[in-house]
Chains A and B, each alone.
Chain A
């Protein structure tokens, strides 16, 4: 344990020194390690499912899979950054519900859909800013803050609409989220372009900019990064704001895809997002992980669930399988590093004697 802390501090202090690694080093390193493993797992699951599960190997599978995991994919982008800094945001699914209800209520009162979407996005910004303010300015732990706002935002959503659902959103907006990119029967929904664009932006920020390196540094050692001149509070604040914004975007998607604004929309989705981020190789203690692995992690869980569903496996067993995957994905690298640590210890001892 002691030697690893020392190592962490070393890494954290590295960015501001002249010997700072070239941009993208961490990405390249990650691609050779954990991320490769999770991408390989995705390929294996896909190949096994294509061979053994009837009806799996079709464009429809890809289409439904992408539509189903789309909100998780979206929120996983900022969530990765938040978790890498050592924080967490559990209010994302409640924010989806709130933004869904806001769009619904405004639509019902005759407000144009584009204005309703803008208002919902602003509420996402505000909700994220509240989380960020409580965590960074007041200094409360993010787990406690976002468990609180999880209840708060969900309560507002259900309070605004009760148990009713608002439907009848304009056809052209609904088609926008479900239309296929290359015409009828093809695999790729057009909406995925929005995710690709966002993923590129997030990946560039996290893996190729000083802000990205600061995010890793504060996850490894907050104090060291403060002494290195990183404004930890400001970066974390904006990460929470972005998370709120993206969550409300996901809530708008949800509303349009299901043509249904309800207070209980997306209940429990925060756990799917966190699970996918962890399966994707991000450490819950911060400082480790990369976006390619996270995206593969989301897709692995989605593919596994889809394949098992097509194979007529019951939903309880599917949940068990997803849970086992999550535990293994945390356990295997932990056991691996424990073993490596053990093997290394004798040399450390001889050196210190």
Chain B
């Protein structure tokens, strides 16, 4: 109702002409911007260039922002053209629309983190038919519909790095407990198995005395940490290979008498753990570095466009600029390329990360 008087003071015909002009301007603007955007994209479709499109699970996700920014830098360094597209919600159908679009645009490679193992397959196969290389990272699709998968790490490397971290922090001797997610989480159980055998073999003076389950719930994990510490008075360290668990355990430790006396490590994100690293509750923890993941996926895409690798087991290629300074990578079983040991975050480097 309130807008009517103002409309009344304007000549109605002029008002409609105004709306029409605005609409036409809008169309014109999109038309112009699209001209410039795709104009250069079309050129890079020719041989010799690398037009590489990153398709994260969704846009505005800090984890993928980190990897895509690093990837952009890497792609531009080797003279390629980078672009990042994706749906605003992490859905499979949203990604399918983008895969179709990229297929039409004729990019050289699509690098994606999949929202569904199978739902993207038909679209990805069409992309492959159009001679586009398909590389997944972080989250894989069915191996039959991609050329390679860049995996953050392997079960053994993840398990070993956490045991090494806790061993460093407690002087390679004493009682250690594990705070896991749920009792039937496949990846958690595989890591815990591997931790136990690695610890028994490499650190004979460390005993893993208990495994408790916080169900990836903040309050449950908090309570289980409290219970662990009271049932095991000699406990020297806790490993929590879950981001929810390690944050809850750190919150408990930071306000308890055990702060600084009981070591805590595991898999966590820098944003969750920053305050506990700064207040001395946690010395160091691990997670894959999404920036490295983006860089390695970019180089894998480049090697594949150059036809240096096809995704066969044993193919090898080089990458530059990783935080581990490693440069040589080999394609493993099922087209899986493994980044390596998880990245260790500590007070020295945590402020370089925001995810």
* Chain A residues packing against B (C-beta within 8 Å): 44-45, 48, 51-55, 58, 60-61, 64, 68, 165, 167-168, 174, 178, 254, 257-260, 262, 264-268, 306-316, 319, 321, 328, 332, 335-336, 338-339, 342-343
B101 and A259 contact, CB distance less than 8 A: no
B122 and A178 contact, CB distance less than 8 A: yes
For the complex, is B255 an interface residue (Cβ under 8 Å from A)? Answer: no
B92 and A311 contact, CB distance less than 8 A: no
10 contacts across the A-B interface (CB closer than 8 A): A52-B31, A55-B104, A258-B119, A259-B118, A260-B92, A306-B97, A306-B101, A314-B59, A336-B16, A339-B12
Residues from chain A with Cβ under 8 Å of B59 in the complex: 314-316
Which residues of chain B from 2 to 26 have any CB-CB distance to chain A below 8 Å in the complex? Answer: 4, 7-8, 12, 15-16, 19, 23
For the complex, is B168 an interface residue (Cβ under 8 Å from A)? Answer: no
Complex alpha-carbon distance, A268 and B88, angstroms? 13
Complex alpha-carbon distance, A105 and B161, angstroms? 40
Given known pairs A310-B104, A310-B105, A312-B85, the reply for A339 and B7 (CB within 8 Å) is yes
Which residues of chain B from 142 to 201 have any CB-CB distance to chain A below 8 Å in the complex? Answer: none
A258 and B116 contact, CB distance less than 8 A: yes
Residues from chain A with Cβ under 8 Å of B12 in the complex: 339, 343
Residues from chain B with Cβ under 8 Å of A178 in the complex: 122
Q: B39's contact among A54, A267, A308, A332, by CB below 8 Å, is which?
A: A54
Residues from chain A with Cβ under 8 Å of B38 in the complex: 53-55, 310-312
Complex alpha-carbon distance, A68 and B88, angstroms? 16
Residues from chain B with Cβ under 8 Å of A60 in the complex: 100, 103-104
Q: A64-B101, A312-B85 are in contact. List 17 more A-B contacts (CB 8 A).
A: A51-B31, A64-B104, A165-B117, A167-B118, A254-B93, A259-B121, A260-B116, A306-B97, A310-B104, A311-B34, A312-B34, A313-B30, A315-B87, A315-B88, A321-B30, A328-B19, A332-B19
Given known pairs A259-B118, A335-B7, the reply for A312 and B98 (CB within 8 Å) is no
Residues from chain B with Cβ under 8 Å of A52 in the complex: 30-32, 34-35
For the complex, is B91 an interface residue (Cβ under 8 Å from A)? Answer: yes
Residues from chain A with Cβ under 8 Å of B34 in the complex: 52-54, 307-308, 310-313
Residues from chain B with Cβ under 8 Å of A312 in the complex: 34, 37-38, 41, 83, 85
A313 and B33 contact, CB distance less than 8 A: yes
A61 and B104 contact, CB distance less than 8 A: yes
Kindly name the residue among A308, A310, A316 whose own CB sees the greatest number of chain B CB atoms within 10 A: A310
Kindly name the residue among A259, A312, A319, A336 whose own CB sees the greatest number of chain B CB atoms within 10 A: A312
B89 and A309 contact, CB distance less than 8 A: no
A48 and B31 contact, CB distance less than 8 A: yes
For the complex, is B106 an interface residue (Cβ under 8 Å from A)? Answer: yes
A260 and B119 contact, CB distance less than 8 A: yes
B89 and A259 contact, CB distance less than 8 A: no
Query: Which are the 6 A-B pairs with shortest beta-carbon distances?
Result: A311-B34, A52-B31, A54-B38, A258-B119, A260-B119, A167-B118
For the complex, is B204 an interface residue (Cβ under 8 Å from A)? Answer: no
B31 and A262 contact, CB distance less than 8 A: no
Residues from chain A with Cβ under 8 Å of B106 in the complex: 55
B35 and A258 contact, CB distance less than 8 A: no
For the complex, is B110 an interface residue (Cβ under 8 Å from A)? Answer: no
Residues from chain A with Cβ under 8 Å of B16 in the complex: 336
Complex alpha-carbon distance, A165 and B121, angstroms? 14
A54 and B116 contact, CB distance less than 8 A: no
For the complex, is B42 an interface residue (Cβ under 8 Å from A)? Answer: yes
Residues from chain A with Cβ under 8 Å of B94 in the complex: 315
A309 and B97 contact, CB distance less than 8 A: yes
Residues from chain B with Cβ under 8 Å of A51 in the complex: 31
Binary interface encoding of chain B residues 121-147 relative to chain A, with 1 for a CB under 8 A from any of its CBs, else 0: 110000000000000000000000000
Given known pairs A55-B106, A339-B7, the reply for A311 and B30 (CB within 8 Å) is yes
Given known pairs A165-B117, A314-B59, A316-B59, the reply for A309 and B30 (CB within 8 Å) is no
Residues from chain A with Cβ under 8 Å of B27 in the complex: 44-45, 48
A342 and B8 contact, CB distance less than 8 A: yes
Residues from chain B with Cβ under 8 Å of A44 in the complex: 27
Chain B residue nearest in CB terms to A257: B122
Chain B residue nearest in CB terms to A310: B101
Complex alpha-carbon distance, A310 and B97, angstroms? 10
Q: A54's contact among B23, B42, B119, by CB below 8 Å, is which?
A: B42
For the complex, is B96 an interface residue (Cβ under 8 Å from A)? Answer: yes
A314 and B19 contact, CB distance less than 8 A: no
Residues from chain B with Cβ under 8 Å of A265 in the complex: 93
Residues from chain B with Cβ under 8 Å of A342 in the complex: 4, 8
Task: Give the distance to chain A from B62, nearest Cβ to Cβ, in Å.
Answer: 16
Residues from chain A with Cβ under 8 Å of B41 in the complex: 54, 312
Residues from chain B with Cβ under 8 Å of A262 in the complex: 92, 116, 119
Chain A residue nearest in CB terms to B60: A316
Residues from chain A with Cβ under 8 Å of B96 in the complex: 258
Chain A residue nearest in CB terms to B93: A258
Residues from chain B with Cβ under 8 Å of A53 in the complex: 31, 34, 38
Task: Give the distance to chain A from B81, nearest Cβ to Cβ, in Å.
Answer: 11
Which residues of chain B from 21 to 59 have any CB-CB distance to chain A below 8 Å in the complex? Answer: 23, 27, 30-35, 37-39, 41-42, 59
